[in-house]
Structure 1
Amino acid sequence: MVAKQTGRHEVPKRPRGLNRGDIAILACGVLGFLSFTFGGPLLDQHGAAAPGTITADYSSGTSSIQLPLPLAVSGLPAAPSASVPAAAAPVASGPVLPEASAPQRIVYPKAAMDSAVHPLAPDSSAVESQTIVPPTTMDGYWLTPFGTPGNGSGNTTYIIGHSWEGRDAPFNHLSSAAVVGDTFDVVTETGTIPYRVDSVTTYLKDSLKDSPIWDMVPSRVVLISCYTEDPWGKNVVVSASPAAG
């Protein structure tokens, strides 16, 4: 008799599929490649990107813009109305301005800046921490609780924006090209206002909230970004007043 052979048949092993850990590692690699290739902003960001703008992933925790103490003590000041009569504002001689209204664009040729401006209101977290960061775009962001440029303005207008690492971005040039005496235009809902740069200053980030840039100066415009030579430690601040047309 021929004995029957017994034993288990070998079952071919199936290739192992990707598990969650593999997918996470792969995703991190892709995001890292995109960040290295396309660059990222030098300001930390926790808001949503504006539609139609270029964004990129980047490492968080780099920096932020500090707000003045009154925001944390008494809450947000009321945003000035565009319909405030001229008599309500301090009387001062100067160029005739269109009625105060929301800024929509900055055109600063000598600093290679032509940037859209969007409204940005600090949320409760920003008020409590006295810090704010703009969305991760190359546009400018107008801090709505403060001033509005134009006739009837009751405070300084603050416009903030990211400087970017690895890309040419409009706010980068404030650190290298902005000079006292330069002129730029702020386009508003009611007209275009020419401004002349009064000062270009760098501040340590942790001292910005206590600096004189937060003084209430009607119709003044202040542009703020990271100082590109020390983006984690300093901000660059460009202060400007309405210029004669």
Structure 2
Amino acid sequence: MPSATAVGNDAAVEASPPTRLAIEDAGIDVEVLPLLPSEEALAEQAIVPPLTEDGYWLASYGQPGRGSTNTTYLTGHSWEGSESPFNRLSTHAEVGNTITLDTEAGSLDYVVESITTHDKETLKDSDIWSIVPNRLVIISCYTEDLWGKNVIVTAAPKP
């Protein structure tokens, strides 16, 4: 895998596990815990986080910060019939929002570049799985179709 040259605000923060995700404009502020998918889940690129309101870092992929060699993936559940922080990805997040990602080595700021939806059955074939060092991808269920679609937020380090 190619190594990335640090850009923007991550120049002083070494790549390390994320611990907290905040998107102030969307009202999201959650703890991030590591999640190590099974070999079968990795092969299928299936994402099933625990049934909590926490965020989860897919630990078998990239770590954010200087020296990143892969995309950093975060995931969390959206809930039907009750408020959840990840519901707000579908309803409150916008292109241009700042994402603050706390890591074990410090804080990094990202800017939301895109918010899209993707069918759950074909998510595994999406280009979001391409290796892009220092990219952040957040995946949850799309609130208007929890069982059929995912919402995907893609962000880059803030200059």
**What interval of TM-score do these two structures reach, taking the shorter chain for normalisation?**
over 0.9
One-letter identity of the residue aligned with 2:60: P
Provide closer, same or farther for how the CA distance between residues 128 and 183 of structure 1 changes in structure 2, counting only shifts above 3 A: closer
Residue in 2 that maps onto 1:239: 154
Residue in 2 that maps onto 1:112: 27
Residue in 1 that maps onto 2:63: 148
Q: Output one character per residue of 1:71-104: Cα deviation in whole Å (capped at 9) or x when no partner.
A: xxxxxxxxx9xxxxxxx72336534240000000
1:165 is displaced (CA, Å) by 1.4
1:128 is displaced (CA, Å) by 5.2
CA–CA separation in structure 2 for the residues paired with 1:91 and 1:149: 12
CA–CA separation in structure 2 for the residues paired with 1:216 and 1:191: 23
- Which consecutive residues of structure 1, in runs of 5 or more, have no partner in the other structure? 1-79, 81-87
Q: Output one character per residue of 1:158-190: Cα deviation in whole Å (capped at 9) or x when no partner.
A: 000000112111000000111111101000000
CA–CA separation in structure 1 for the residues paired with 2:26 and 2:49: 20
Check whether the contact 1:158–1:221 (CA below 8 A) recurs between aligned residues.
yes
CA–CA separation in structure 2 for the residues paired with 1:213 and 1:97: 26
The answer to whether residue 97 in structure 2 is matched with residue 188 in structure 1 is no
SS at 1:170's partner residue? Answer: coil
From 82, 91, 96, the equivalent of 2:5 is 91
TM-score, normalising length: structure 2: 0.93
CA–CA separation in structure 2 for the residues paired with 1:93 and 1:185: 16
Check whether the contact 1:97–1:193 (CA below 8 A) recurs between aligned residues.
no
The answer to whether residue 118 in structure 2 is matched with residue 203 in structure 1 is yes
Check whether the contact 2:6–2:65 (CA below 8 A) recurs between aligned residues.
no
1:145 is displaced (CA, Å) by 0.9
Q: Following superposition of structure 1 onto structure 2, how do residues 116-127 of structure 1 map, counting pairs within 5 Å?
A: 116-127=31-42
Provide closer, same or farther for how the CA distance between residues 130 and 149 of structure 1 changes in structure 2, counting only shifts above 3 A: closer
RMSD between superposed Cα atoms in Å? 1.7
Structure with a larger share of its residues in strand: 2
Q: Which runs of 4+ in 1 moved over 4 A?
A: none
Check whether the contact 1:102–1:149 (CA below 8 A) recurs between aligned residues.
yes
CA–CA separation in structure 1 for the residues paired with 2:39 and 2:6: 35
- Which consecutive residues of structure 2, in runs of 5 or more, have no partner in the other structure? none
CA–CA separation in structure 1 for the residues paired with 2:37 and 2:28: 25
CA–CA separation in structure 1 for the residues paired with 2:100 and 2:12: 12
Q: Taking every aligned residue pair, what percent have the same amino acid on both sides?
A: 53
SS at 2:118's partner residue? Answer: strand
CA–CA separation in structure 1 for the residues paired with 2:135 and 2:44: 26
Residue in 2 that maps onto 1:55: none
One-letter identity of the residue aligned with 2:33: H
Provide closer, same or farther for how the CA distance between residues 217 and 130 of structure 1 changes in structure 2, counting only shifts above 3 A: closer
SS at 1:164's partner residue? Answer: coil
Q: Output one character per residue of 1:128-147: Cα deviation in whole Å (capped at 9) or x when no partner.
A: 55423000100001001111
CA–CA separation in structure 1 for the residues paired with 2:13 and 2:45: 32
Structure with a larger share of its residues in helix: 1
Check whether the contact 1:150–1:219 (CA below 8 A) recurs between aligned residues.
yes
